[in-house]
Homo-oligomer: A and B are copies of this chain.
Amino acid sequence: MSSSDPKDRSYYPHFRAVPTRWMDNDVYGHVNNVVYYSYFDTAVNGHLMEYGVLDYAAGDIFGIVVETKCQFLKELAFPEVIEAGLRIAKLGNSSVTYEIGLFRKDQPDAAAVGHFIHVYVDRENRRPVRIPDPVRAVMASLVVSGVS
């Protein structure tokens, strides 16, 4: 059963590994706040590409980011491999809201929690379009339904 707390691992139906890099660490010896969003970005787009529903070079439509947020709860540091939990909180007509939790290996509580909102647009005119069905099918596996 899924947790209702984004800080718990069981809140997320899917996880992706995101290794840190040497230069992620800043002057304070931990991963710089900006870089967490790169983990978000990589987890979401990596998922879509793995399931074949994001072709950034040739696709006619794609998601542009309209809002992101992150709460930093614990420090991360290279050379850790981060486990990024993914869940979709809201799947609308043209927009999708991902919730993301970043976890240190073997730790039950998230080091960071946040969200990431994509709006799908037409490549040419950058106007919102309906998220296509094949993309929705992939997204559906990240939606937690019922009482959570």
Chain A residues with a Cβ under 8 A of chain B: 17-19, 21-23, 25-29, 32-35, 37-38, 41-42, 45-46, 49-50, 56-57, 62, 64-72, 78-79
Contacts and interface: CB of A to CB of B under 8 A. Distances in A.
Copies in the complex: 4
State the main secondary structure of chain A at its contact with B.
Answer: mixed
Given A22-B38, A23-B34, A27-B57, 7 more contacts: A22-B45, A29-B56, A33-B37, A33-B65, A64-B72, A68-B69, A68-B70
Contacts of A68: 33, 69-70, 72
A70 B67 contact: yes
Contacts of A49: 78-79
Nearest to A38: B34
A97 to B, nearest CB: 13
A25 B27 contact: yes
Contacts of A18: 19, 21
A15 to B, nearest CB: 15
Contact of A19 (B19, B32, B79): B19
Given A26-B25, A57-B27, A72 B67 contact: yes
